[in-house]
Amino acid sequence: VKVMNWVDGVESATIVGLSARFGAVLPSHAAEAPKLSAVLTNPVNCCTSSSSQLSNAIALAKRGDCTFTEKAQIAQSGGAAGLLVVNDNEDLYKMVCSDNDTSLNVTIPSVMIPNSAGKNFQDLLLSGKHVKLQLYAPKRPVVDFSACFLWLMAVSTIICASVWGEFIACEQVDERYNHLTRKEPSDAATINRDEPEKEILEINTKGAIVFIIMASAFLMLLYFFMSAWFIWVLVVLFCIGGTEGMHACIVTLILRVFKNCGQKTVHLPVLGEVLVLSVVILPLCAAFAIFWAANQHASFAWIGQDVLVHIDNSLRNIDNCIYSQVSTMDDIGSHHGLLEQRFGPNRVRPDSHRIIIYIFNMTRGICLMITVLQMARLPNIKVASALLCCAFAYDIFWVFLSPLFFKESVMIAVCSLLLHGHYSYPNCAPLLMEVARGDNNGGESIPMLLKIPRFFDPWGGYDMIGFGDILFPGLLVAFSFRCRYSVLKIFSYEILINSAAAYLLL
């Protein structure tokens, strides 16, 4: 329930409450809801008839001393048009009927609000301010278009990465197309000029197991040693990796279209002979990463986060653990009103003119993910099975079995610490919507997942997916296509579509 409020005619931040399971149903649009004055009950618990004039007003009462239904009946008998119950803390609980309320006749709406919001209302009313309230419960759309876009983007990225190496990068005419590295002249390099040299990391079975062990170690590091300097180390590594990945993809695409650009080189100290195109593109990629790092607390920071989020971990092996921390948080944007209440509507829903910027920058994220799936490859189905099974066991252990050893779920604890600044298990899920934040991180943040604002949801918030949930299945889809293509030497839509469809269903 949204509780809009005005103090002496000036609109204040909207409060989010929870409606009772009894009483009238609130309207779904603000235009249909009446704007009524708020009145403190006397006594404040509203357990006996109030001496305050409640006629055609919304009664404000504290929780306790009697049942919710008794409060509602007393407020209704006093002529109140609604009831706001102030909870003892910031959590919200369902207000239900007791077992003895068999003949309940409550016709007014009842809403519970957090303690801080209720105390603020009480202070305003006691100081003589005139407070007006408007209660309504907007409905979420049947189809979440932001989730559909997130889903489509993940699948498209995997499909594009699968065919990238065979139909885009394979036609480069110069093996130096995407590297700012030293080039040693040799006859062999001249002879093999038409065969690009690729940087490929093949994952073996032992590597898959070590990968999960490193992920566990990093998770424990976050669990015990979260701090501001640690966050900034990750941010710096993230920006370096993201810059390198974006540089590789952009240069590859330009050389695919304008092959003559690969013929112009320049000699640089230490680096040797490099492409002029690489020298031009690299500062632009670095500038974007630096801009995001410097403005990561701004309301539009989610744009840069999604842009950079895919590449950093794979290029610098940071994804060894971050995958696990976000894989259990896919599409967890429920209770969005809590986020709007804490950070304001501008932090939840970006302005419409930023959508164009978002789409442009999201293109970079897709390019970075393609680079990841080009660098890391599965050699056979045995390694794929080992990697995915270990990742599955990893999630099961750290989410469900870790409480047996640590008295709490390490995965959920880390997620809670990273995402909203304090530990609130088991009620952390509704709050896992903001950029990663820790208790001792000094307010700094690190990119942890891919998120898209719910543009058409009146409650705002974000749809989210762990980027590990794109990379890990993507490795298998890319392997399936590459295996079929290497045997038949023809493009097979069948294997690619089947693999992508399996990813969609999962």
Active site residues: 395, 469
Which contiguous run of DSSP H or E holds residue 160? helix 145-167
Which contiguous run of DSSP H or E holds residue 267? strand 265-268
Distance CA 232, CA 377 (A): 30
Tokens found for residue 360:
């442009």
Q: Which backbone phi and psi does 465 adopt, to 5 degrees? A: -150, 135
Q: What Cα–Cα distance (Å) separates residue 129 from each residue in 115, 134, 292, 311?
A: 19, 17, 43, 53
Among residues 169, 376, 505, 310, the alpha carbon closest in space to that of 497 is found at: 505
The one-letter amino acid code at 259 reads K
- Coil, helix or strand for 322? helix
What is the residue whose two structure tokens read 């007393």? 74
Q: What Cα–Cα distance (Å) separates residue 219 from each residue in 182, 283, 312, 415?
A: 36, 33, 17, 10
Would strands 15-16 and 10-11 be described as parallel, antiparallel, or unpaired? unpaired
Length of the chain: 506
Distance CA 173, CA 192 (A): 10
The torsion region of residue 454 among left (phi > 0), alpha (psi -120 to 50) and beta comes to: beta
Burial of residue 142 (CB within 10 Å: 0-12, 13-18, 19+) is exposed
Distance CA 436, CA 234 (A): 12
Distance CA 72, CA 69 (A): 5
Distance CA 287, CA 383 (A): 38
Distance CA 506, CA 493 (A): 20
Cβ contact 131:4 at 8 Å? no
DSSP state for residue 437 in the 8-state scheme: B
Tokens found for residue 178:
């995407």
Distance CA 370, CA 256 (A): 15
Distance CA 154, CA 1 (A): 33
- Coil, helix or strand for 45? coil
CA torsion 162-168-172-175 (nearest 10°) is -30
